[in-house]
Amino acid sequence: MDVSMSSRADGGMVVERDVFRFLDLPRELRDQIYDYTFLIPDHRGERALRIERRHLKYFSPTPSTLLLLLHHEPLLLTRQICSEALEVLLKHHTVFLSCGPYVLKTLLSRIQEEESGRGKQWLKWMKNIELEWVTFPNLRIYPPNREDGADEWWWEVEQGEDIEGDEVDNLRGAQYSGHYDEHDYEGGHYDDNLYEPEDSSLYPSFEPDSNYSQSHELELEPELETQSDSAMFELEPGHDTYLTEDMATKLELLVSMEVAPLFAYLCTPLFALSSITLPLYFISKQTYLHRNTTRPGFALPLKIRYWVQVVVHALLMLSPSNSGPKLDQVRIKYMPWDIWASMDPSDDLASLAQRGVWFEEEEADDDDDDDITPTSEGEGEAFKAVWHELARRDEGFRNGNGTGTRDGTGRTGNGNGWLEADVTFVKWEGDLDRWRVGDELEVVFKRRKHVAGSSTCIRQALDQSSRTL
């Protein structure tokens, strides 16, 4: 930048700067700068990067609003910069989407319906996505039941009529400053899963399903917590904390009404996704022993079982039966569920990186399997649940190589049926800025190249699975 001084008519001095404008750079150089910007680590944490239901209420898809919603605020400079940066993000980087499946599907649908037609191009550009859901709902109150649009909250009278405004002010307190307002996007009192009748379009249509048998309510699962933050501190056995609701059935409802429609939508020709990154978790040995004893059949916490279902739906997009757009890979971040899992994990991660994650039945006393280390109790429960559910939903996987493959060393190989996996051990380096501690596994699933395709469309499989839930 050149700086020069010049005289004004009144005798004063003016500083003149010869500024080189960013938009005067060639597009190739600008794209490199955008690319570098997106590679800068974001240490704000998963909760700060969430997309909430209320964000969609007034959302209109433009490059600037998309960058804002995806928390790339530094690039909100000009319309041209936003447009160019969004293209680089969607084409060459992983788009982090922390929200529920219905919110995500609604967001993508609104992008598709963008008036100028650019929205469909943006969806086609999007290659890699990573899913998270830090505002996972409390399934005790799922689905929301608000007859006649009346919320049953503590400030409402028995008949469902709101308390008068002055009484509400008294309940809120003299220091109330408007942080309950729906436009306060950073308020500490906002609940992303609080049903508001006027926002019914932001929720699924909770119509009774004939396939959703009410008899399931008799199959009770005792569930203590649904949030990972609360699951860090398990209560000792003997505490009277068991619920009488069937949480497993409500999870099935959530999957059928929100997860299955999302992945059926992602299987349409509107998208050309290459990879989906998902979290999956292992628990501590103590947590496994406690839950397996007190909750037979439900050793995994509810939210982990939710992610098991999401992983299964993503893997089905790799299936040869998928006649629509196929993924290239599904990436799993296999992480500790809480601080206790990082200190005393139920899984030997270093061993899993060598043996694989298939967890087939391995008999140590088998003459041909002397070199195989038997799976310890509680190890790989999340992956075992994935394979069980995937075999139930996909005939090709169920009838494939059910015993896994063996390499020359006698260890379990890296393939099963039409899937193959590359497992990498990720050592924690003490970086506290990542908001998570402990070693992890990165598991990359791909479709076996020699597996022939099938005429069955994955969307039909997803629809069928939705109807059976």
The answer to whether residues 406 and 289 belong to one domain is yes
Per-position DSSP letters for 162-228, written without gaps between them:
BPPHHHHHHHH-TT--STTSTT-TT-TT--TT---GGGGGGS------TTS-GGGGGS-B-----ST
pLDDT value at position 445? 95
397 vs 110, higher pLDDT: 110
Q: What are phi and psi of 98, to 5 degrees?
A: -105, 95
Q: Write out the residue range of the structural domain in which residue 368 sits.
A: 202-468
* Count of structural domains within the chain: 2
376 CB neighbour count, 10 Å cutoff: 12
394 vs 212, higher pLDDT: 394
- Answer whether residue 236 shows pLDDT above 50: no
- Answer whether residue 175 shows pLDDT above 70: no
Q: Are 48 and 98 in contact (CB under 8 A)?
A: no
Asked if the structure places residue 144 within a domain, the reply is: no
Question: Cα dist. 458→100, 159, 313, 391, 435 in Å?
Answer: 22, 47, 10, 14, 36
In terms of average pLDDT, the best of 86-100, 215-229, 438-452 is 86-100
pLDDT band at 205 (very low <50, low <70, confident <90, very high): confident
**98-105 average pLDDT score:** 94
Residue the block writes with tokens 């499946």: 101
pLDDT band at 105 (very low <50, low <70, confident <90, very high): very high
SS3 at position 63: helix
The answer to whether residues 422 and 290 belong to one domain is yes
100 vs 150, higher pLDDT: 100
Asked if the structure places residue 155 within a domain, the reply is: no
Asked if the structure places residue 264 within a domain, the reply is: yes
pLDDT value at position 297? 82
Q: Are 399 and 392 in contact (CB under 8 A)?
A: no
**Which range (133-137, 362-366, 428-432) has the least confidence?**
362-366
For the chain, what percent of residues have pLDDT higher than 90? 42
**460-466 average pLDDT score:** 51
Contact partners, residue 249, CB within 8 Å, separation at least 6:
216, 217, 219
Q: Using CA atoms, how far apart are residues 464 and 455, in angstroms rounded to an integer?
A: 16
Q: Are 414 and 422 in contact (CB under 8 A)?
A: yes
For the whole model, what pTM was predicted? Answer: 0.76
The answer to whether residues 223 and 128 belong to one domain is no
pLDDT value at position 152? 40
**118-142 average pLDDT score:** 91
- Answer whether residue 143 shows pLDDT above 90: no
pLDDT value at position 412? 40
- Answer whether residue 242 shows pLDDT above 50: no
pLDDT value at position 407? 36
Q: Are 345 and 282 in contact (CB under 8 A)?
A: yes
Last residue of one domain, picked from the residues 103, 132, 161 = 132
Asked if the structure places residue 186 within a domain, the reply is: no
Q: Using CA atoms, how far apart are residues 99 and 132, in angstroms rounded to an integer?
A: 6
Q: Which of 366, 346, 378, 468 is nearest to 410 (CA)?
A: 366
Q: Are 278 and 104 in contact (CB under 8 A)?
A: no
Q: Are 318 and 397 in contact (CB under 8 A)?
A: no
The answer to whether residues 368 and 238 belong to one domain is yes
Asked if the structure places residue 159 within a domain, the reply is: no
Q: Which of 300, 284, 302 is nearest to 292 (CA)?
A: 300
The whole-angstrom distance between residue 421's C-alpha and the CA centroid of its chain comes to 21
Last residue of one domain, picked from the residues 97, 132, 167 = 132
- Answer whether residue 466 shows pLDDT above 90: no
Q: Token digits for 260?
A: 């299955």
pLDDT value at position 217? 37
pLDDT value at position 311? 97
Q: Are 253 and 212 in contact (CB under 8 A)?
A: yes
- Answer whether residue 136 shows pLDDT above 70: yes
Q: Which of 396, 379, 380 is nearest to 320 (CA)?
A: 396
Contact partners, residue 230, CB within 8 Å, separation at least 6:
none
Q: Is 115 exposed, middle or buried (0-12, 13-18, 19+ CB in 10 A)?
A: exposed
pLDDT value at position 435? 67
Asked if the structure places residue 191 within a domain, the reply is: no
The answer to whether residues 317 and 441 belong to one domain is yes
**432-455 average pLDDT score:** 74
- Answer whether residue 150 shows pLDDT above 60: no
The answer to whether residues 443 and 351 belong to one domain is yes
The answer to whether residues 343 and 222 belong to one domain is yes
The answer to whether residues 105 and 226 belong to one domain is no
Asked if the structure places residue 196 within a domain, the reply is: no
Last residue of one domain, picked from the residues 72, 103, 132 = 132
- What is the pairing mode between strands 13-18 and 419-426? unpaired
The answer to whether residues 356 and 450 belong to one domain is yes
pLDDT by residue (tens digit) across 261-294? 999 999 999 999 999 999 999 999 999 999 888 8
The answer to whether residues 96 and 217 belong to one domain is no
pLDDT value at position 320? 84
Question: Cα dist. 218→139, 215, 244, 291 in Å?
Answer: 16, 6, 9, 20
The answer to whether residues 227 and 366 belong to one domain is yes
Question: Cα dist. 349→170, 209, 352, 440 in Å?
Answer: 55, 41, 5, 7
The answer to whether residues 84 and 231 belong to one domain is no
